[in-house]
Amino acid sequence: MVMMGCSKRDCDFLTPVDSQDREYAALMDSVETAVCDAKSVFFSDTLLMPVLAFYEEDVSCRHLWMQARCHYLLGSLLYGQDKQEQATAQFLQALELLDEHFDESQTPVGQLYSKIHFLTTRVAHLFSDEQISAQFGRLGLNYAVAVGDTSWMLRSMANLGIMYERFGKPGEGDSAYYYCDGGLAMADAQRFPYETAMLENVLANCLRHSHHYDEAISHFEKAGSLIDSTYLLYYRNYLEMAFVYYKRQDYDSAVVYLEKAFKAEDESIKTQSAFGLADCYEEMGDTLKAMPYYNIVKAHQEKQVVMANQNGEAMPMLNAYLRGRTSPGNHPVLFWVAIAIVLLALMTVVFVAKRKAKAKEVQHMEEVKRLQAMLEQSAQHQRELLKQRVLTIYQTAGGDRLSRILGEFEGAYPSAGDRFEQSCPSLNETERRIIILSFLGLRAKEVADLLGLKENTVTQYRSNLKKKADINGFSSYIG
């Protein structure tokens, strides 16, 4: 009965049921705000243990949902403490609850899936497991696109850009650029400053590894201008910018940025900064200044050895989860790999070069088509949600329904007014409103009701306007 109840699309799993529930929900909201914003201030994971115990007392829909959220947040806090195995166990418990009890097409569920897959991709990054990282990264992007969550869509694209840039296989640098450029084309820096900074940072790293240092510094500076010192990315951005100056042997500039990065509360960033400072001072011939930083690095490395032993089960756990979601059928893959090895041994250098170039072109085109399809799907989903809101406003009695509907339209398409002025200056106010209301899915009778016109008049207007537009109808006016 629980599973049946929770899987219904109209199931209410978001509304608190009592004062204790409201208190714990507010606590989790505050933790999630810090986690999602990637702030440098971390909560203790013990803070959520009483919350989890409270929601494990029964198996109502609401409590199962809050259990899933709590496991995700516990995993996030443990991930921030470099406890990868424990974090992974929490993420997988959250995924099992979502898989078993909730409909993934529901917006809150899809958003939580996207967040969990984003962080499990980061875990796989830490262990340099390309395959698992790619699978979780793409799952995160797919869920974000499916529910129209622009913020996590941009983060997932940055995540995939990091993956391709980090693993650095021949021909995959273009994929990293592609995800970064595609994300930046969609990103609104005012609405999504952190996500835009992520994409700028990944793009800068791609350029850094391609030895385009001037362009890299420019994008690092753009990323830094979008966020402040409360974000971890703020310090990592300075750290990576310093490496550009180090490569250029401009050690004075490198030291300036490394000292800024060294102020981070995050131990990993602090240690990498210390290592960079030690290297710079060595290159500048000042061993005395270098020694304290070397000691910091040594202490961190000893600690990491202990953590590595504790985190040995993280990747097998993630791998097992993915195997449960996909069919095994690996024997044909192994067969073709063996054939490919034999063929590669027989190929000439010229043929190999041509084959790689063609494969790279095909892969790039497939990625382009795939991302275009996802973007179109996301735009269509958002438009359908907008139509539903507009219909709800129209069916609600009282108030200025027309103004509220036009306000919804302007919020979703802020540049439409400029397009009307540029491409359709001859349209009058009535024609523009008919275009907007028709684009939002309202029938001629409903448009006439809102504008105080006769239905036949609206029908005639629409007929004339459609004749002027191209095959896309009213969408042509909106852009």
Residue 384 CA to residue 377 CA, distance in Å, equals 11
Start-to-end C-alpha separation, the chain: 47
Give the model's pLDDT for residue 197: 92
Model confidence over 30-83: pLDDT tens digits? Answer: 888 888 877 655 677 888 888 888 888 877 888 899 999 999 999 888 888 878
Which of the two residues, 121 and 366, has the higher pLDDT score? Answer: 121
Residue 88 CA to residue 119 CA, distance in Å, equals 9
User: Over 50: is that where the pLDDT of 170 sits?
Assistant: no
Q: In terms of DSSP H, where are the helices of 347-454?
A: 349-395, 401-412, 416-423, 429-439, 444-451
Q: How confident is the model at residue 256 (pLDDT cuts 50, 70, 90)?
A: very high
Which of the two residues, 70 and 423, has the higher pLDDT score? Answer: 70
Give the model's pLDDT for residue 464: 82
Model confidence over 466-478: pLDDT tens digits? Answer: 777 654 566 666 6
Tally of CB atoms within 10 A around 351: 12
Distances from the Cα of 441 to the Cα of 383, 390, 438, angstroms? 10, 9, 5
Q: What is the mean pLDDT of the chain?
A: 79
Model confidence over 112-128: pLDDT tens digits? Answer: 999 998 888 888 877 77
- Least confident interval from 7-16, 56-65, 147-156: 7-16
Task: Answer for the pair 113, 74: CB distance below 8 angstroms, yes or no.
Answer: no
Tally of CB atoms within 10 A around 252: 9
For 409, half-sphere exposure in the C-beta direction (CA atoms, 13 angstrom radius) is 25
Model confidence over 21-36: pLDDT tens digits? Answer: 888 888 888 888 888 8
Q: How confident is the model at residue 330 (pLDDT cuts 50, 70, 90)?
A: very low
Tally of CB atoms within 10 A around 270: 19
Q: Which residue, among 79, 142, 362, 376, has the nearest Cα to 134 in the 3D structure?
A: 142
Residue 408 CA to residue 389 CA, distance in Å, equals 8
- Least confident interval from 126-140, 204-218, 279-293: 126-140
Which of the two residues, 414 and 76, has the higher pLDDT score? Answer: 76
- Which residue(s) pair with 231 in the sheet? 39
Q: Which DSSP category does 10 fall into? A: T
User: Over 70: is that where the pLDDT of 291 sits?
Assistant: yes
Give the model's pLDDT for residue 41: 56
Q: Which residue, among 169, 275, 272, 188, has the nearest Cα to 226 in the 3D structure?
A: 188
Q: Would you mind telling me the total number of residues written for the chain in this entry?
A: 479
> 3-state class of 39 per DSSP?
strand
Any residues with CB less than 8 A from the CB of 173 and at least 6 apart, and which? 164, 165, 206, 209, 210
Residue 221 CA to residue 213 CA, distance in Å, equals 12
Task: Answer for the pair 94, 71: CB distance below 8 angstroms, yes or no.
Answer: yes
